Structure 1
């Protein structure tokens, strides 16, 4: 297993600091960066020069994605729903809230497109957390239930598998959506912090690179763990901050969010790598 720091990972890197812990990194079609800052109640837009400004407000914006029409779909953990913001930053409605298959949506955390106009999202609750699917007609169904704080989520379009970070079990689950039963199984158990404290582990955001390796933001470990297609740990990248929340990968761009603590300060790392490194 190869271990590096982001400073040693090829390419120019920028690090920006914000008053609040950051989450939800995405990039739009123009190359503009967006992050959320949870307790700051903001969705921030960051220019290529590193200038951040408020783009929209929510009660506690967490994970976000950009839909095909340019709208931002954002998990609001405090308001217990998934909200839609139009390309100008105006909230245009709620995409998911309330009950689904007997489960009350309590703390939406992260979400990912299903490739067909819908999305999957995690509801982060200890022991009874769920993963939910909302199709393009906004019909909801539960994919997995009774999870111990489901957190980051990633969908692989090639295999139609859904990967879920189960934070307090310090592992990554996978659900095969091609089968009638999509009950998730363990894909990988992650390294544990020597302190033995659960809070020092907690896998968070997930993203795939172009080689189908799964990158895991390992919150309490202050690093990114990289797993191959078999779930084997092949690389570890240390970040510049204690708590690593999420990441976004696109071509040779890597964005990493997190901070020194909660509620802050928060950081955003942007790294442009050499071709073929991601």
Structure 2
């Protein structure tokens, strides 16, 4: 029923924008402006109502981004090993994360998400020994999960107080109970396996939670979004048409999907207008 109700909305309602570089980090601000990043292009792009993408800000290798309650953008720079904060005008304001956290050196920040209390969670995407970190509203940083095999996308289920983590090279989603500080993340779902057998075909990337608290998973190499219910069961699949699907973002009005046909490019942005009932 969920698939019939929601997935029908995508038919004939999507536009796809080609880009020179592989795209990541989709977000939407309070005014309805759409933003994405393009990694090797070094740009944070703003998309206008006509679908035109223009440079909003620059950094070395922008990856995941989020917009905080003040309207500032926090952007992972995967080459600089830093998370940078830009103000509403696109001006670099400060470095939010760089260097050591509890003796661990941040090297490849990939994605981040608000903790809904003035801070944020982020992933450092390293094979076998990656971490999930947390920075609170005061700027105090700590590690909440470690020794993960390329932790990637993040999403929060606010009702259950759970943090979802894509562990890319395990082809699975982990879940951490935020109400139990210090608890070890558990396996939430092992994802379907690409019959090609290639590791690059089995990498979950960006995550998002919808209004029904279902988890959407951008599956790099599978050209799709999986939809999982709150028990970790797969209840839907959306073919994106993007060979390397990197990330997904949604609100009541829009669904944004990023990725491309290769890295460093070309890239693609898919924008879907959600029909409100």
TM-score of Structure 1 vs Structure 2, range by shorter chain = over 0.9
Q: Relative to structure 1, is the Cα distance of residues 180 and 73 closer, same or farther in structure 2, using a 3 angstrom cutoff?
A: closer
**Does the 8 Å CA contact 1:45/1:54 hold for their aligned counterparts?**
yes
For the 8 Å contact 2:24–2:246, the answer to whether it is kept is yes
Distance in 2 of aligned mates of 1:254 and 1:182: 32
Indicate the residue corresponding to 2:172 in structure 1. Answer: 171
CA contact (8 A) 2:9 2:275 kept: no
Partners of 1:11 and 1:272 within 8 A in 2: no
- Report the counterpart of residue 265 of structure 1 in structure 2: 266
State the partner residue of 1:253: 254
Deviations 1:24-48 (A, max 9, x none): 0001111111000000000000001
The answer as to 2:111 corresponding to 1:138 is: no
Q: Which residue pairs with 2:52 in the alignment?
A: 51
Write the deviation string for residues 206-242 of structure 1: whole angstroms up to 9, x where unpaired. Answer: 0000000000000111100000010000101111120
Equivalent residue number for residue 153 of structure 2: 152
CA contact (8 A) 1:82 1:95 kept: yes
Alignment partner, residue 116 of structure 1: 117
The corresponding residue for 2:162 is 161
Q: CA deviation at 1:274?
A: 2.3
Q: Is the 8 A contact 1:11 1:273 kept in 2?
A: no
| Structure 1 residue runs of 4 or more that deviate by more than 2 Å after TM superposition | 6-11, 273-276
3-state SS, counterpart of residue 236 of structure 1: strand
Deviation at 1:10, TM superposition (A): 4.0
Q: What RMSD, in angstroms, separates the aligned Cα atoms of the two structures?
A: 1.8
1:25 aligned residue: 26
2:181 & 2:120 partners in 1: Cα distance?
Answer: 19
Task: Tell me how far apart the structure 1 counterparts of residues 269 and 8 of structure 2 sit (CA, whole Å).
Answer: 14
- TM-score (norm: length of structure 1): 0.96
Deviation at residue 65 of structure 1 after TM alignment: 0.5
Preserved contact between residue 10 and residue 273 of structure 1 (Cα < 8 Å): no
- Distance in 2 between the 1:145 and 1:101 partners? 11
Q: Is 1:12 paired with 2:9?
A: no
Aligned ranges 1:215-230 → 2 under 5 Å: 215-230=216-231
Alpha-carbon distance between aligned partners in 1 of 2:17 and 2:251, rounded to the nearest angstrom: 19
Q: How does 1:238-249 map to 2 (within 5 A)?
A: 238-249=239-250
Find out whether 1:105 has 2:122 as its counterpart: no
Q: Is residue 125–residue 151 contact of structure 2 (8 Å, CA) maintained in 1?
A: yes
Shift of the 180–92 alpha-carbon distance from structure 1 to 2, 3 Å rule, reads closer
Contact 2:223/2:239, CA 8 A, preserved across alignment: yes
SS at structure 1 position matched to 2:90: coil
The residue aligned with 2:70 is 69
Gaps spanning 5+ residues in structure 2: where? none
Q: Report deviation, 1:155.
A: 1.6
